[in-house]
């Protein structure tokens, strides 16, 4: 069930208190606050739905496939290549 953001409509038409409600998509939007009956409106928000996790999109295999190079810290001043093209390691100049 999705979570919807609602906002109380103040008497002057401005936005008041905001709150979230879990509702089935098939249910009509609320027009009144469920606890005290004040008028409310549903606030449009950007979807948080993502297809695939950040971990899968940023995997070494996927980064390599897309042409990115990734280095990870291997020690003090040493970085080792995990994906892509370039030298196998990078060392900090002392």
Structural domain boundaries in the chain: 3-43, 54-91
Please give the backbone phi and psi of residue 50, each rounded to the nearest 5 degrees, phi first.
Answer: -130, 145
Strand 89-91 with 78-83, pairing: antiparallel
Q: Indicate whether 54 pLDDT > 80.
A: no
Q: What is the pLDDT of residue 49?
A: 58
Q: Indicate whether 51 pLDDT > 60.
A: no
Q: Is the pTM of this model over 0.75?
A: no
Q: 58 pLDDT band (50/70/90 cuts)? A: confident
């Amino acid at each position: 069930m999705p979570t919807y953001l609602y906002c109380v409509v103040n008497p002057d038409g401005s936005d008041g208190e905001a709150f979230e409600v879990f509702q089935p998509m098939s249910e009509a939007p609320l027009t009144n606050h469920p606890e005290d009956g004040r008028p409310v409106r549903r606030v449009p928000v950007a979807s948080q739905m993502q297809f695939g996790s950040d971990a899968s999109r940023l995997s070494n295999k996927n980064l390599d496939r897309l042409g990115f190079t990734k280095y990870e810290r291997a020690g003090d001043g040493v970085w080792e290549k995990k994906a892509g093209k370039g030298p196998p390691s990078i060392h900090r100049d002392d």
